[in-house]
Amino acid sequence: MGPCKLTNELRIFVGTWNVAGRSPIGSLAVDLDDWLNLKDAADLYVLGFQEIVPLKTRTVVGAEDTTKATNWNLLIGKILNDKYGCPWLTPMMMNEATGDGDYTRNTNLNRPMRFPGGDQTPIKFQGRIPANRVMGGSRYVLLASKKMVGVFISVWIRRDLVRKYYISNVKVCSVACGIMGYLGNKGSVAVSMSIEGTSFCFVAAHLASGEKKGDERRRNHQVSEIFRRTFFARSPKDDEYPNPHHPPLTILGHDQIFWFGDLNYRLYLEDSFARQLIKKQDWEALQEFDQLRKEQEAGGVFQGWREGNIEFAPTYKYSSSNCNRYSGGPLRRTGEKQRTPAWCDRILWYGKGVRQLSYFRSESKFSDHRPVSAQFLSHIDLLETTNPRVIALSKFLPSIPSPKQMVKGETNEESKSTLAALMVKDREESAKFIEQRYRTITE
């Protein structure tokens, strides 16, 4: 019988939202608050967006502009942290040195935090506030962020978990598989990381649109391309601390994988029949015609992957912003696109140790899609070797002498009294040392 594995649980929120090219605005805070479901707060927030910029020729073939991604991160950070009475003092999160919109956080607290622009570049605030004050004043911190044209992923973690768990190998990758198979109007952005001994991969995707016969095969092909071309390169830092596993290089090499986004799978059903079932709220009957589930059953895509039961209305396509009516149908307006409603926005997962707690849509009218989210309970394996930061501390902690090490000639009662006094003194010194040590690390 092998050694017993120590495990712990994380609550993970995964969300996806096609925002139809619209920029984040202040009034959107109410919609985000509803979507993020902060009454039931998670440990990790993984948010995928599609079309954070309009998919026009200029934005697809031109240079990446990280402004929209920065603005979304600013708003997300504000929503996550203002809820807890902490003013959100946000740095410029995008990498100014490269201009590519990538951001990953260095989770080793024995080193200075690696902020955008490199270790030596001062962080930019509206006021001159030290970085440790920002960390100290926020409950959630940005762990990773990646943008490719309109596809965007943003990963946030509870600040205290950065100290509690050993988080390593945080990496990002993008795959463009849109026009001509290589432009970024469609494709994916992914984040890979390890929390203790469990590896995670989060893939935010935007697949080919269209409801013509055969369009589902284009989507299937793009999924296979994302699997084939997503690669998390190894770096010298990967072996910096002892870990029983090498960091995964591909999506399927991870222990737990979450794939979400505007996957664009439609319904194998004529428009009027689809609307009748929607009116009856007969989601079970409607799912019989769901293209993604049919393709899974036929072995065309996502074999062995899981998705929660859909008990909400199709999320696409609504007539316009600020509207609760699906586009098209017998009452469509002049010039309005005819679209059969469908569950385009989906969240799937793969791997052991994952249990879905909820799967629902929110009712924001910000775009022609409704945001979708799921909460998961994830088991993580704790490393047998404790966190390197804790090892470093343990070397300096005063030790308690054993009774055999007591002064010779003392009686049993005297020895017990001396030992008790030393234990009290030891606890006080240990507490002082730990407090001073963590203050040094965070400052």
Q: Is 33 exposed, middle or buried, given 0-12, 13-18 or 19+ CB atoms closer than 10 A?
A: middle
User: What is the separation, in whole angstroms, between the first and last Cα of the chain?
Assistant: 45
**114 domain-assigned:** no
**403 domain-assigned:** no
Question: What confidence score (pLDDT) does residue 148 get?
Answer: 96
Phi, psi of 169 (to 5 degrees): 55, 45
Q: Is 235 exposed, middle or buried, given 0-12, 13-18 or 19+ CB atoms closer than 10 A?
A: exposed
Question: What confidence score (pLDDT) does residue 152 get?
Answer: 97
**429 domain-assigned:** no
Instruction: Place 172 in a pLDDT band, splitting at 50, 70 and 90.
Output: very high
Count of domains for the chain: 1
Report percent pLDDT > 70 for the chain: 70
**160 domain-assigned:** yes
Quote the tokens at residue 215.
Answer: 């369009």
Residue closest to 174 by CA, chosen among 268, 241, 100: 100
Pick the more confident residue, 387 or 147.
147
Q: What is the mean pLDDT of the chain?
A: 79
Query: Which CATH number characterizes residue 247's domain?
Result: 3.60.10.10
Domain of 377, in residue numbers = 9-95+136-265+350-383
Q: Is the pLDDT of residue 325 over 60?
A: yes
**423 domain-assigned:** no
pLDDT in tens, 81-104: 986 544 444 433 333 323 345 666
SS (H, E, C) the chain: CCCCCCEEEEEEEEEEEECCCCCCCHHHHHHHHHHHCHHHCCCEEEEEEECCCCCCHHHHHCCCCCHHHHHHHHHHHHHHHHCCCCCCCCCCCCCCCCCCCCEECCCCCCCCCCCCCCCCCCCCCCCCCCHHHHHHCCCEEEEEEEEECCEEEEEEEEHHHHHHCCEEEEEEEEEECCHHHCCCCCEEEEEEEEECCEEEEEEEEECCCCCCCCHHHHHHHHHHHHHHHCCCCCCHHHHCCCCCCCCCCCHHHCCEEEEEEECCCCECCCHHHHHHHHHHCCHHHHHCCEHHHHHHHCCCCCCCCECCCCCCCCCECECCCCCCCECCCCCCCCCCCCCCCECCEEEEEEECCEEEEEEEECCCCCCCCCCEEEEEEEEEECCCCCCHHHHHHHCCCCCCCCHHHCCCCCCHHHHHHHHHHHHHHHHHHHHHHHHHHHHHHHC
Instruction: Place 7 in a pLDDT band, splitting at 50, 70 and 90.
Output: confident
Instruction: Place 6 in a pLDDT band, splitting at 50, 70 and 90.
Output: confident
Structural contact between residues 109 and 162, judged by C-beta atoms closer than 8 angstroms:
yes
Instruction: Place 443 in a pLDDT band, splitting at 50, 70 and 90.
Output: very low
**164 domain-assigned:** yes
pTM of this prediction exceeds 0.95: no
Residue closest to 129 by CA, chosen among 161, 89, 166, 97: 89
Question: What confidence score (pLDDT) does residue 154 get?
Answer: 97
Q: Is the pLDDT of residue 188 over 60?
A: yes
Report percent pLDDT > 90 for the chain: 57
Q: Is 262 exposed, middle or buried, given 0-12, 13-18 or 19+ CB atoms closer than 10 A?
A: buried
Question: What confidence score (pLDDT) does residue 338 get?
Answer: 87
The contacts of residue 214 (CB under 8 Å, 6+ apart) are: none
Instruction: Place 201 in a pLDDT band, splitting at 50, 70 and 90.
Output: very high
**121 domain-assigned:** no
**37 domain-assigned:** yes
Lowest-confidence pick of 125-139, 266-280, 289-303, 400-414: 125-139
Question: What confidence score (pLDDT) does residue 241 get?
Answer: 52
pLDDT in tens, 49-66: 999 998 888 888 877 888
The predicted model gives 26-32 an average pLDDT of 87
Q: How far apart are CA 281 and CA 143, in angstroms?
A: 39
Lowest-confidence pick of 155-164, 202-211, 256-265, 331-340: 331-340
Instruction: Place 316 in a pLDDT band, splitting at 50, 70 and 90.
Output: very high
